[in-house]
Amino acid sequence: MTARHFLQGSADINSPIRRISATVKLCATGILVLAITLLPARHAVWALVPFAMLIALARLARLPMAVFAVHLAIAQPFVLGVAVLALFQQNGVVAFASLAIKSTVCVAAIQFLVLTTHFQELLEVLRRAHVPSALVLALGVVHRYLFVLIEELKRMRRARAARTLHARYGGLWVALASVIAVSFVRSMARSERIAMAMRARGWS
Protein backbone atom coordinates (compact mmCIF):
# COMPACT_ATOMS: atom_id res chain seq x y z
CA MET A 1 0.00 0.00 0.00
CA THR A 2 1.47 3.34 -1.05
CA ALA A 3 1.47 6.39 1.20
CA ARG A 4 -1.01 8.17 -1.07
CA HIS A 5 -3.42 5.23 -0.94
CA PHE A 6 -3.05 4.94 2.84
CA LEU A 7 -3.76 8.63 3.46
CA GLN A 8 -6.51 9.36 0.96
CA GLY A 9 -7.31 6.23 -1.04
CA SER A 10 -10.69 5.78 0.67
CA ALA A 11 -11.81 9.26 -0.43
CA ASP A 12 -12.16 7.92 -3.99
CA ILE A 13 -14.76 5.30 -3.02
CA ASN A 14 -18.13 6.11 -4.60
CA SER A 15 -20.78 6.26 -1.88
CA PRO A 16 -23.69 8.44 -0.73
CA ILE A 17 -21.44 9.96 1.95
CA ARG A 18 -18.73 10.77 -0.59
CA ARG A 19 -21.23 12.74 -2.71
CA ILE A 20 -22.23 15.03 0.17
CA SER A 21 -20.74 18.51 -0.05
CA ALA A 22 -17.42 18.98 1.73
CA THR A 23 -18.86 22.11 3.37
CA VAL A 24 -21.70 20.12 4.95
CA LYS A 25 -19.37 17.38 6.17
CA LEU A 26 -16.86 19.85 7.60
CA CYS A 27 -19.56 21.84 9.43
CA ALA A 28 -21.19 18.65 10.78
CA THR A 29 -17.83 17.39 12.02
CA GLY A 30 -17.06 20.70 13.69
CA ILE A 31 -20.43 20.76 15.46
CA LEU A 32 -20.01 17.14 16.60
CA VAL A 33 -16.51 17.75 17.95
CA LEU A 34 -17.66 20.90 19.77
CA ALA A 35 -20.65 19.09 21.29
CA ILE A 36 -18.48 16.21 22.50
CA THR A 37 -15.90 18.61 23.92
CA LEU A 38 -18.59 20.43 25.94
CA LEU A 39 -20.05 17.16 27.26
CA PRO A 40 -19.59 17.00 31.07
CA ALA A 41 -17.10 14.41 32.29
CA ARG A 42 -19.75 12.47 34.24
CA HIS A 43 -21.78 12.04 31.04
CA ALA A 44 -18.85 11.17 28.77
CA VAL A 45 -20.25 7.70 28.16
CA TRP A 46 -22.94 9.31 25.98
CA ALA A 47 -20.17 10.12 23.49
CA LEU A 48 -20.28 6.44 22.54
CA VAL A 49 -23.64 7.09 20.85
CA PRO A 50 -22.16 9.31 18.09
CA PHE A 51 -19.25 6.85 17.92
CA ALA A 52 -21.68 4.06 17.05
CA MET A 53 -23.28 6.38 14.48
CA LEU A 54 -19.84 7.03 12.96
CA ILE A 55 -19.27 3.28 12.63
CA ALA A 56 -22.63 2.94 10.89
CA LEU A 57 -21.84 5.86 8.58
CA ALA A 58 -18.44 4.34 7.80
CA ARG A 59 -20.17 1.18 6.63
CA LEU A 60 -22.62 3.28 4.60
CA ALA A 61 -19.64 5.09 3.06
CA ARG A 62 -18.18 1.66 2.13
CA LEU A 63 -14.99 2.39 4.03
CA PRO A 64 -12.82 -0.65 4.72
CA MET A 65 -13.28 -1.06 8.46
CA ALA A 66 -9.71 -2.29 8.81
CA VAL A 67 -8.44 1.01 7.35
CA PHE A 68 -10.73 3.02 9.62
CA ALA A 69 -9.52 1.03 12.64
CA VAL A 70 -5.85 1.44 11.72
CA HIS A 71 -6.18 5.20 11.32
CA LEU A 72 -7.93 5.38 14.70
CA ALA A 73 -5.35 3.13 16.38
CA ILE A 74 -2.45 5.29 15.18
CA ALA A 75 -3.83 8.22 17.18
CA GLN A 76 -4.48 6.24 20.36
CA PRO A 77 -0.98 6.58 21.90
CA PHE A 78 -1.34 10.37 21.71
CA VAL A 79 -4.90 10.27 23.06
CA LEU A 80 -3.96 8.04 25.99
CA GLY A 81 -0.78 10.02 26.62
CA VAL A 82 -2.84 13.16 27.18
CA ALA A 83 -5.55 11.34 29.15
CA VAL A 84 -3.01 9.81 31.55
CA LEU A 85 -2.19 13.30 32.85
CA ALA A 86 -5.74 13.50 34.22
CA LEU A 87 -4.98 10.66 36.66
CA PHE A 88 -2.96 13.07 38.80
CA GLN A 89 -5.90 15.34 39.61
CA GLN A 90 -8.96 14.93 41.80
CA ASN A 91 -11.35 12.25 40.50
CA GLY A 92 -8.53 11.22 38.18
CA VAL A 93 -10.07 7.95 37.03
CA VAL A 94 -13.28 9.66 35.93
CA ALA A 95 -11.34 12.43 34.21
CA PHE A 96 -9.09 9.87 32.50
CA ALA A 97 -12.03 7.85 31.19
CA SER A 98 -13.81 11.02 30.06
CA LEU A 99 -10.79 12.35 28.18
CA ALA A 100 -10.04 8.97 26.61
CA ILE A 101 -13.60 8.43 25.39
CA LYS A 102 -14.24 11.96 24.17
CA SER A 103 -10.85 12.28 22.48
CA THR A 104 -11.25 8.92 20.73
CA VAL A 105 -14.68 9.88 19.39
CA CYS A 106 -13.41 13.29 18.21
CA VAL A 107 -10.48 11.62 16.44
CA ALA A 108 -12.86 9.11 14.86
CA ALA A 109 -15.06 11.95 13.56
CA ILE A 110 -12.09 13.74 12.02
CA GLN A 111 -10.77 10.51 10.52
CA PHE A 112 -14.18 9.83 9.01
CA LEU A 113 -14.19 13.30 7.45
CA VAL A 114 -10.69 12.86 6.02
CA LEU A 115 -11.40 9.35 4.69
CA THR A 116 -14.56 10.43 2.87
CA THR A 117 -13.43 13.83 1.54
CA HIS A 118 -10.54 14.86 -0.68
CA PHE A 119 -8.15 17.12 1.19
CA GLN A 120 -8.17 19.69 -1.62
CA GLU A 121 -11.94 20.02 -1.21
CA LEU A 122 -11.47 20.74 2.49
CA LEU A 123 -8.85 23.37 1.69
CA GLU A 124 -11.24 24.99 -0.78
CA VAL A 125 -13.94 25.14 1.91
CA LEU A 126 -11.47 26.84 4.25
CA ARG A 127 -10.58 29.39 1.55
CA ARG A 128 -14.24 30.21 0.98
CA ALA A 129 -14.64 30.61 4.75
CA HIS A 130 -11.90 33.30 4.61
CA VAL A 131 -9.47 31.31 6.75
CA PRO A 132 -6.06 33.08 6.54
CA SER A 133 -4.38 32.05 3.30
CA ALA A 134 -1.08 31.42 5.09
CA LEU A 135 -2.75 28.77 7.26
CA VAL A 136 -4.46 27.13 4.28
CA LEU A 137 -1.17 27.10 2.39
CA ALA A 138 0.65 25.58 5.38
CA LEU A 139 -1.96 22.82 5.66
CA GLY A 140 -1.60 22.06 1.95
CA VAL A 141 2.20 21.87 2.16
CA VAL A 142 2.07 19.62 5.24
CA HIS A 143 -0.40 17.29 3.54
CA ARG A 144 1.67 17.17 0.37
CA TYR A 145 4.89 16.27 2.13
CA LEU A 146 3.35 13.68 4.42
CA PHE A 147 3.51 11.36 1.39
CA VAL A 148 7.19 12.14 0.92
CA LEU A 149 7.96 11.52 4.60
CA ILE A 150 6.10 8.20 4.71
CA GLU A 151 7.81 6.93 1.56
CA GLU A 152 11.17 7.97 3.02
CA LEU A 153 10.44 6.04 6.22
CA LYS A 154 9.42 2.97 4.21
CA ARG A 155 12.68 3.04 2.26
CA MET A 156 14.69 3.34 5.47
CA ARG A 157 12.73 0.48 7.03
CA ARG A 158 13.43 -1.76 4.03
CA ALA A 159 17.13 -0.85 4.15
CA ARG A 160 17.31 -1.64 7.86
CA ALA A 161 15.52 -4.97 7.38
CA ALA A 162 17.94 -5.90 4.58
CA ARG A 163 20.91 -5.26 6.88
CA THR A 164 19.49 -6.90 10.02
CA LEU A 165 19.30 -10.68 9.89
CA HIS A 166 18.73 -11.67 13.52
CA ALA A 167 18.66 -8.58 15.69
CA ARG A 168 18.13 -8.95 19.43
CA TYR A 169 15.31 -7.15 21.19
CA GLY A 170 17.61 -4.39 22.45
CA GLY A 171 19.18 -4.06 19.02
CA LEU A 172 15.77 -3.40 17.49
CA TRP A 173 15.25 -0.44 19.82
CA VAL A 174 18.68 0.92 18.91
CA ALA A 175 17.87 0.53 15.21
CA LEU A 176 14.49 2.25 15.71
CA ALA A 177 16.13 5.17 17.50
CA SER A 178 18.62 5.44 14.63
CA VAL A 179 15.81 5.48 12.06
CA ILE A 180 13.97 8.23 13.98
CA ALA A 181 17.13 10.33 14.30
CA VAL A 182 18.04 9.98 10.62
CA SER A 183 14.43 10.72 9.61
CA PHE A 184 14.48 13.90 11.66
CA VAL A 185 17.77 15.05 10.09
CA ARG A 186 16.55 14.27 6.57
CA SER A 187 13.22 16.00 7.21
CA MET A 188 14.98 19.14 8.42
CA ALA A 189 17.28 19.15 5.39
CA ARG A 190 14.35 18.60 3.03
CA SER A 191 12.32 21.38 4.67
CA GLU A 192 15.23 23.80 4.20
CA ARG A 193 15.45 22.90 0.51
CA ILE A 194 11.70 23.37 0.13
CA ALA A 195 11.85 26.77 1.85
CA MET A 196 14.70 27.87 -0.43
CA ALA A 197 12.80 26.71 -3.51
CA MET A 198 9.66 28.57 -2.40
CA ARG A 199 11.60 31.77 -1.75
CA ALA A 200 13.20 31.42 -5.19
CA ARG A 201 9.69 31.34 -6.68
CA GLY A 202 8.57 34.53 -4.96
CA TRP A 203 7.09 33.21 -1.71
CA SER A 204 7.87 35.31 1.36
User: Which has more pLDDT, 182 or 101?
Assistant: 101
pLDDT band with cut points at 50, 70 and 90 for residue 2:
very low
Specify whether 179 is located in the same domain as 116. no
Whether residue 11 is predicted with pLDDT greater than 80 in this model: the reply is: no
Specify whether 88 is located in the same domain as 189. no
Q: Inter-axis angle of helices 119-128 and 22-37, to 10 degrees? A: 80
Spell 32-48 as b/e; 16+ CB within 10 A means b.
bbeebeebeeeebeebe
In order of 40, 99, 109, the CA distances from 44 in angstroms are 6, 8, 16
77, 94, 127 — which closes off a domain? 127
pLDDT at 140: 83
pLDDT at 175: 66
Specify whether 28 is located in the same domain as 117. yes
Specify whether 182 is located in the same domain as 121. no
Specify whether 20 is located in the same domain as 102. yes
Q: How many domains does the chain have?
A: 2
Give residue 193's domain range: 132-200
Specify whether 26 is located in the same domain as 96. yes
d(CA 30, CA 34): 6
Specify whether 31 is located in the same domain as 59. yes
pLDDT band with cut points at 50, 70 and 90 for residue 164:
low
d(CA 21, CA 128): 13
In order of 42, 43, 106, the CA distances from 39 in angstroms are 8, 7, 12
Give the list of residues 6+ apart from residue 43 with CB closer than 8 angstroms, or none.
none
pLDDT band with cut points at 50, 70 and 90 for residue 167:
low
99, 127, 155 — which closes off a domain? 127
Q: Is 64:116 a contact under the CB 8 Å cutoff? A: no
Specify whether 9 is located in the same domain as 95. yes
Q: Please give the average per-residue pLDDT across 139-165, as a whole number.
A: 73
79-107 pLDDT, tens digit each:
888 788 878 777 778 888 888 899 999 99
Tell me phi and psi for residue 78, to 5 degrees.
-70, -40
pLDDT band with cut points at 50, 70 and 90 for residue 5:
very low
Mean residue pLDDT across the chain:
79
Whether residue 33 is predicted with pLDDT greater than 90 in this model: the reply is: yes
pLDDT at 142: 80
Q: Which of 122, 116, 158, 112 is nearest to 143 (CA)?
A: 122
Q: Please give the average per-residue pLDDT across 120-144, as a whole number.
A: 84
Specify whether 160 is located in the same domain as 174. yes
Specify whether 74 is located in the same domain as 121. yes
Specify whether 76 is located in the same domain as 158. no
End-to-end alpha carbon distance in the chain: 36
Q: Is 36:50 a contact under the CB 8 Å cutoff? A: yes
- When mean pLDDT is compared over 11-15, 46-50, 75-79, 192-196, the highest value belongs to 46-50
pLDDT at 197: 78
CA dihedral 122, 127, 129, 132 (to 10 degrees): 120
CA 15 to chain centre: 22
Q: Please give the average per-residue pLDDT across 152-161, as a whole number.
A: 72
106, 127, 148 — which closes off a domain? 127
Q: Please give the average per-residue pLDDT across 105-123, as a whole number.
A: 88
Specify whether 136 is located in the same domain as 43. no
